[in-house]
Amino acid sequence: MSDQPIKSLGLSPELHAYLVEHGTPPDEILAELARVTRERIGGLSIMQIPPEEGALLTFLARLIGARRAIELGTFTGYSALCIARGLPPDGLLICCDVSREWTDIGRPFWRRAGVEDRIDLRLAPALETLASLPADRSFDLAFIDAVKTEYWSYLERLHGLLRPGGLVVVDNVLWSGAVVDAAQQGADTQAIRAFNERVARDERFDRVMLGVGDGLTLLRVR
């Protein structure tokens, strides 16, 4: 088993296509962004979230009435577009990433989707951006999909930023199944295992782990 995650863990291509088609499939803008990402980045495009996860992010943002959100790890902007679509017209999504090359791919698609004015992209290490934000608990939603070895540090910072009842969505928590494979001892795998164990005992959150994409944990701030 590789230490590199695959998406839509455990689903055949046919079953995955069925799942996407019978949920909220990606529209033309999202589909084109996914295609451009594959063409320009190649194998690294696997870092992009699958379409059903994007639909879930939009759904969750709308479900909790999110107005202020923060994303750690933007890549080429697919997840940012999905979250921003779930916010009201005056909503705000702060995106944290370190790559102008990759995030520049997403910008034209944010503009085409009419959500560019909701997105504040900050090119700096996510922990630096989080440290610069006032701990006023004004955020409603957070999405973690950045440096795996920093997941716990992200969550510690985010707890002081999210309101009670706010939601943290954590990506890659199953890591292609490597979390239950003792032969896998890479730094990312060990970090995700440790994160999952700590979250399972953390009484600050209500929590559920889902087999969506490469595994998602939803954490509701108590």
> Does any domain span residue 205?
yes
Structural domain containing residue 125: 13-221
Q: What is the pLDDT of residue 5?
A: 52
Question: Whole-prediction pTM value?
Answer: 0.96
> Does any domain span residue 2?
no
Q: What is the pLDDT of residue 201?
A: 97
> Does any domain span residue 90?
yes
> Does any domain span residue 181?
yes
Q: What is the DSSP letter of 47?
A: G
One digit per residue, the tens of pLDDT, for the chain of length 222 reads 344 455 788 889 999 999 999 999 999 999 999 999 999 999 999 999 999 999 999 999 999 999 999 999 999 999 999 999 999 999 999 999 999 999 999 999 999 999 999 999 999 999 999 999 999 999 999 999 999 999 999 999 999 999 999 999 999 999 999 999 999 999 999 999 999 999 999 999 999 999 999 999 999 999
The dihedral region occupied by 59, where left means phi > 0, alpha psi between -120 and 50, and beta the remainder, is alpha
The answer to whether the Cα torsion of 106, 107, 111, 116 is positive or negative is positive
Q: State the total domains in the chain.
A: 1
> Does any domain span residue 135?
yes
> Does any domain span residue 1?
no
How many Å from the N-terminal Cα to the C-terminal Cα in the chain? Answer: 37
> Does any domain span residue 4?
no
- Compute the half-sphere exposure of residue 176: CA atoms within 13 Å on the CB side of its CA: 13
Each residue of 65-77: b (16+ CB within 10 Å) or e? ebbbbbbbbbbbb
Q: What is the pLDDT of residue 8?
A: 80
Q: Which residue type, as a one-letter code, is found at position 161?
A: L
> Does any domain span residue 74?
yes
Q: What is the CATH number of the domain that holds 194?
A: 3.40.50.150
